[in-house]
Amino acid sequence: MSRSVYRFATFRLDVAARELHDDGKLLTVSPKVFDGLVWLIEHRERAVGRDELIAAIWGRVDVTDAQLGQLMRKLRRVVGDAGEGQSMVRTVPRFGYRWVAETKVVDPSDALAQSPPPPARGSRRIVAVVAAAVFALALVLGAWAWYAPPALDAKDAVAVLPVAVEPEADPESAWLRLGLMDQIAERLREAGLRVVPSGNIAATARNDGTPLLGEQRVGAATGAGRFVVATTRRVAAGWVSRIEWRDAGRVLREVEANGDSAVAATRQASKRLLLALGRPAGTDVEQGDAPSEQWLQRIDAAVLDTDFATARRLLDEAPADLRNTPAWLLRRADVDLATERMEAARSGYLELLARLPAIDATTHARALIGLSGPVAQAGDLAAAQRSLGEAIALLRGMNAPQLLGEAFYGRGLFGMVQGDLDGAEADFSQARIALELAGDSLQLARLQGQQATLLALRNRHAESLAMWNAAADRFERFGDAEKFVDALGNCATEQLYLLQPQGALATVRRAEPWLARLDHPLSEALFGFTFARVLALNGSTREAREKFQSLLGSAAAAEIVGMSAAVQVELAQLDFEQGDAGSAARRAEAAMRALADPALASTLYARIRNSGWLVLSRSLRATAPATAETELQRLGPSPSEAGIGAIYRNLVDAETRWPADPAAATRAYEASLAAAKASGAPADIAEVVVSWGMALIRAGQASKATTVVGQVADWAGEDFACAVLQAHLYLALRQPEAFARAYATARRLAGERPLPGDLLAASTQLR
């Protein structure tokens, strides 16, 4: 049979290799998107009905139109096909879809280098940078704990792989794959082994789009060095389950057991494995074969697979003796929480807690942890913290490290959002210990992110960057596209604070192949904001402005608290830099009024407020210098009351007083620079030095300016503002050769940003 390789536009699709290249670059494409693309191309001579496409991609028919529509949006993004243009995939109303792009079948040996030139189209690059001080509740952030206990060796952890079920077509096979995996993992955990949480394994399988995983893939994701590989098969007399214990690629133990059901056979095989390992195997009294217990296992398997529709159906159809039991109530509340039915989740957890003392301690703790979510979502973060504190008190005397880690993690997050950085640091450090003990690599990556936020809020940006990179690597190993791209975006944010805009652009480009796998409007809106910031700071101002403007009309962006104000501040900055101080003042004033909302009073929004205050002051002084100070006072409370930091309060004061009162302005500049150095963020230091240095140069004090400007010399090779300042200094010092070098650097970094007229004139004279 011939191997199918197709070319269309700039793409090369190799069906057998399951590879899609764009202009020679291999793209990361989810399995279902790839399957849908192949089916449409291979049947391009006709329209493909929705039911046919669903069956071809999912292998079943119980898939909603919404799921198909979601997948088609991903597919279109992969091939750069705007939904309105439909140059590749055309929607056939009330029927389905048809592939309409010109497509050729080519020889598989055809070199990738022979790709046709790309057609003219808008860039599909989306870059994600989210200021660590902004949108913390919308992101999962990460870092290393600065109180770091000796890390446990991840290779000591045991990973139980999804169970292979034979025959695969058996009606039971779908839920048994993860249900039996979880059953084995729980038995090993009860025997004292450190077992990777089933959710980590399920997430890896889900992200890879495969029901079964190999040891190498799971080891790469979780770091585990020991594996349990199980198979269960139906035979004439019932079921047979075989379990292998593998270490370093070798099978060290192998057991087998029979049973009337797959659950019974696997339970017995698990017991034999533990005995072979010299571990306690538990009592002979088992409840796993009871219909209610198996029903719960089915629900848990559906939740592991994030198939919440099936989980809810199973909850609704549960046997009479199971309904309204604590186990059933807990799972119903968990599913409500996972599907964002917050009020229903809150009611469910409260109903459980009302049954005290009849419920066991584990259920009690899980209900308290779950309750914190809807309580926090309703705005009562202090109550959410108290709920988690109660859970922590219960769990301290239990062997439940994963639950304990989740409780500390949540309490630390809510504390951080409320500004209790020291309390959050302590909680995150304890969460790390617990999650290490639980072997929960995925949750550890999320924890790293929250700790990185703390470092960023403390202006420890170099450390935060290192931690973000570590978190990104871990998310990449799990194949978690959303978290991986978010992590890279935050890496880029830290690079911007470190005055590394070109490095930030390289970082977000690393995320580019993964963007087609995203399907979360809020994440995409955040990526759009970040993309625009990185573009602006690399001189691509027109495209940056377009991205910012599109966010102002985005429904998803409107859902993110503070996003509109952040966008207005960025647009005000662009307006001011391009000479439109009037527009800059209007935008900045609107942003500062929005930031006066008590909901945005957190330190997480400090950088937006600082930037907005600075551009507002500058634009007002440019348009109405005589009334600028009065206007600033009219707009609201004093800067300190409005949450403006010392760096920016003093900087605005210095710029307002210069040159009328140089002595007072100098004192303000000195105070501002001292605060910036205390913060340690190069971006803050440069903001002060560029302003002060230019003030001195324009006042004819070039010699004095040398001391000030020299403090940003190390950043002049990559940061545009620092490069322009250095060029101005050398021009004022009448150093033509040094000026020529500095001017060349500024010109290289400028992009679409205009260079100052005096520098242009001086460069012309040197020619």
| 3-state SS record for 332-396 | HHHHHHHCCCHHHHHHHHHHHHCCCCCCCHHHHHHHHHHHHHHHHHCCCHHHHHHHHHHHHHHHC
> Measured at the alpha carbon of residue 203, what is the angle toward residues 200 and 208, in degrees to the nearest 5?
130
User: In the predicted model, is pLDDT for residue 120 greater than 90?
Assistant: no
Rounded-to-integer distance, Cα 167 and Cα 155, Å: 32
Four-residue CA torsion sign, 388, 389, 391, 396? positive
CA distance 629 to 324: 65
- Cα–Cα nearest to 500, from 670, 720, 310, 313: 720
Rounded CA-CA distance 177/450 in Å is 33
pLDDT above 90 (res 512): no
CATH, range 127-141+447-556: 1.25.40
Best mean pLDDT range from 28-32, 221-225, 403-407? 403-407
Does domain 5-114 bear CATH number 1.10.10.10?
yes
pLDDT reported for residue 174: 79
Beta-bridge partner residues of 25: 22
- Per-residue confidence (pLDDT) for residue 230, from 0 to 100: 93
Decide: pTM greater than 0.85: no
Residue 652 amino acid letter: V
Closest to 686 (Cα-Cα) out of 650, 725, 660: 725
* Out of 4-8, 82-86, 426-430, least confident range: 82-86
Stretch among 93-107, 344-358, 695-709 having the lowest mean pLDDT: 93-107
| Least confident piece of the model among 217-226, 449-458, 552-561, 629-638 | 629-638
**Domain-wise residue ranges, the chain:** 5-114, 127-141+447-556, 561-644, 661-767
With residues binned 3-state (H G I as helix, E B as strand, rest as coil), the percentages for the chain, rounded to 5, are 60, 10, 30
Bridging pattern class, strands 11-14 and 5-8: antiparallel
pLDDT for residue 168 is more than 90: no
- CA-based nearest residue to 10, from 157, 113, 130: 113
Per DSSP, the three-state class of 227 is strand
CB distance 225 to 155 below 8 Å: yes
Q: How confident is the model at residue 154 (pLDDT cuts 50, 70, 90)?
A: low
Q: Name the 3-class secondary structure at 226.
A: strand
Look at 211 and 200; give whichever has higher pLDDT.
200
Ramachandran class of 539: left when φ > 0, alpha when ψ lies in -120 to 50, beta otherwise:
left
The confidence band for 636, taking pLDDT boundaries of 50, 70 and 90, is: low
How far is 370 from 347, CA to CA, in rounded Å?
A: 11
pLDDT at 109 over 70: no
Whether residue 623 is predicted with pLDDT greater than 50 in this model: the reply is yes
* pLDDT at residue 110 tops 60: no
**Which of 333, 335, 331 has its CA nearest to residue 322?**
331
Q: Over 80: is that where the pLDDT of 714 sits?
A: yes
Specify the DSSP element, H or E, that contains 211: none
Distance (Å, rounded) from C-alpha 545 to C-alpha 127? 14
Would you put residue 27 in left (φ > 0), alpha (ψ -120 to 50) or beta?
Answer: beta
Q: What DSSP string runs through 51-110?
A: HHHHHHHHSSS---HHHHHHHHHHHHHHTT--TTT-SSEEEETTTEEEE-S-EEE--TT-
Report residue 137 as tokens.
């509740």
pLDDT over 80 at 290, yes or no: no
* Highest-confidence segment of 102-116, 268-282, 613-627, 661-675: 661-675
Measured CA to CA, the distance from residue 414 to residue 407 in angstroms comes to 11
pLDDT band at 161 (very low <50, low <70, confident <90, very high): very high
pLDDT for 95 equals: 79
Amino acid 282: pLDDT = 67
Residues 602 and 417: beta-carbon distance below 8 Å? yes
Alpha-carbon 587 to chain mean position: 29
In the chain, % of residues over pLDDT 70:
90
Residue 667 burial (C-beta neighbours within 10 Å; 0-12, 13-18, 19+): middle
Report which of 40, 30, 38 is spatially closest to residue 97, judged by C-alpha positions: 40
Strands 226-235 and 158-160: parallel
Bridge pairing between strands 226-235 and 25-26: unpaired
Average pLDDT over residues 647-655: 95
Q: Are strands 5-8 and 103-105 parallel, antiparallel or unpaired?
A: antiparallel
Flag whether pLDDT at 394 surpasses 90. yes
Q: Which of 173-177, 205-209, 332-336, 448-452 has the lowest mean pLDDT?
A: 205-209
- Reported as a pLDDT band with limits 50, 70 and 90, residue 352 is very high
Answer whether the bond into residue 291 is a cis peptide, omega within 30°: no
